[in-house]
Structure 1
Amino acid sequence: MKNNLLYTAVAFLAISFSTQQAFAQEDTKRDSSSTKIDTDLTIGRKDYDDRGREIKYPRVFGGLTFTRIDWGFSRIMDDGSFNLGEDNQFLEYKKASNFGFDVAQFGIRFNESIKMYVSAGFEWNYLRLKHNIILDQDATPLAYDESDIAYKKNIFTSTYLRTPLTFEWRGNRNRHGDRPKIAVGAMTGILLKGTQRLKSEEHGKQKFKDNYNLASFQYGAFARVGFGSMGIFAKYYMNDMFEKSPTQEKLNNFTFGMTLGF
Structure 2
Amino acid sequence: MNTITKYVVLLSLCLITANLSAQETEKDTTLLKEVNFKISALERLKTKIQDEEREFLKAEVEVVNERLSKGEITETKAEQLKKEAAKRRALNIENRLAIIDNKIELLKRNDAYYDDRDDDEVHFNFSLSKLGGLNVSSRRKPRKYDKRTTSDLVFAAGFNNAIGDGQKIGDEYTFMQSGFVELGIAWKTRLFEDNNAVRLKYGFSFMWNKLTPKDDRYFVQNGNTTTLETFPSELKESEFRITNLVFPLHFEFGPSKKIERKGYFRYSTARHFKIGLGGYAGFNIGTQQKLRFKEDGDRVKEKIRRSYNASPFVYGLSAYVGYGTLGIYAKYDLSPLFKDQTFDQHNLSIGFRFDLD
TM-score, scaled to structure 1: 0.69
Q: Please name the residue that 1:97 is paired with.
A: 179
Q: 1:148 to 1:184 in 2, by over 3 A?
A: same
1:169 maps to what in 2?
A: 253
Q: 210, 213, 223: which is aligned to 2:319?
A: 223
In structure 2, runs of 5+ residues without a counterpart are 1-126, 259-268
CA contact (8 A) 1:170 1:179 kept: yes
1:73 and 2:159 correspond: yes
**2:348 aligned with 1:254, yes or no?**
yes
Amino acid at match of 2:326: M
Cα deviation for residue 196 of structure 1 reads 0.6
Which SS does the other structure have where 1:255 is aligned? strand
How much has 1:145 moved relative to structure 2?
5.0
Q: Distance in 2 between matches of 1:152 and 1:181?
A: 42
Of 32, 38, 51, 2:135 maps to 38
Unaligned runs of 5+ in 1: 1-27, 50-54
Of Structure 1 and Structure 2, which has the larger fraction of its residues in strand?
A: 1
How does 1:131-142 map onto structure 2 within 5 Å? 131-137=215-221, 139-142=223-226
Matched residue, 1:129: 213
Q: Which residue of 1 aligns with 2:202?
A: 118
| 1-structure distance, mates of 2:222, 2:198 | 46
Q: Distance in 1 between matches of 2:128 and 2:229?
A: 54
In structure 2, C-alpha distance between the alignment counterparts of 1:207 and 1:29, rounded to whole Å: 36
1:51-66 to structure 2, matched below 5 A, reads: 55-56=145-146, 59-61=148-150, 65=152
Structure number with greater CO (CA < 8 Å, separation at least 6) is 1
Bigger drift between 179-188 and 127-136 goes to 127-136
1:107/1:117 contact within 8 Å kept = yes
User: In 2, Cα distance between the equivalents of 1:116 and 1:105?
Assistant: 10
Shift of the 61–242 alpha-carbon distance from structure 1 to 2, 3 Å rule, reads same
Equivalent of 2:286 in 193, 198, 215: 193
Cα distance in 2, alignment partners of residues 80 and 148 from structure 1: 28
Asked if 2 retains the 8 angstrom alpha-carbon contact of 1:107 and 1:115, the reply is: yes
1:4 corresponds in structure 2 to: none
Q: Deviations over 1:124-174 (max 9, x none)?
A: 111112133343357311145532221111001111001101211232359
Q: How far does residue 98 in structure 1 lie from its aligned partner after superposition?
A: 1.4
Which structure features the higher share of helix residues?
Answer: 2
SS at match of 1:241: coil
Q: 3-state SS of the aligned residue for 1:98?
A: strand
Q: 8 Å contact 1:137–1:210 — kept in the other structure?
A: no
Partner of 1:159: 243
CA distance in 1, matches of 2:250, 2:169: 31
Tell me if the contact between 1:75 and 1:82 (Cα under 8 Å) persists in the aligned partners. Answer: no
Q: Distance in 1 between matches of 2:189 and 2:256?
A: 19
Taking only aligned residues, the RMSD between alpha carbons, in angstroms, comes to: 3.1
Q: Which whole-Å CA distance do the structure 2 matches of 1:116 and 1:93 have between them?
A: 36
- The CA distance in 2 between the partners of 1:204 and 1:29, in whole Å, is 42
Q: Is the 8 A contact 1:188 1:220 kept in 2?
A: yes
Could you tell me whether the CA contact under 8 Å between 1:138 and 1:210 is conserved in 2? no
Give the AA of the match of 2:159.
F
The Cα of 1:37 is off from its aligned counterpart by 1.2
Q: Secondary structure at the match of 2:241?
A: strand
Which one has a bigger Cα radius of gyration? 2
Q: 1:230 to 1:56 in 2, by over 3 A?
A: same
Asked if structure 2 preserves the Cα contact closer than 8 Å seen for 1:121 and 1:162, the reply is: yes
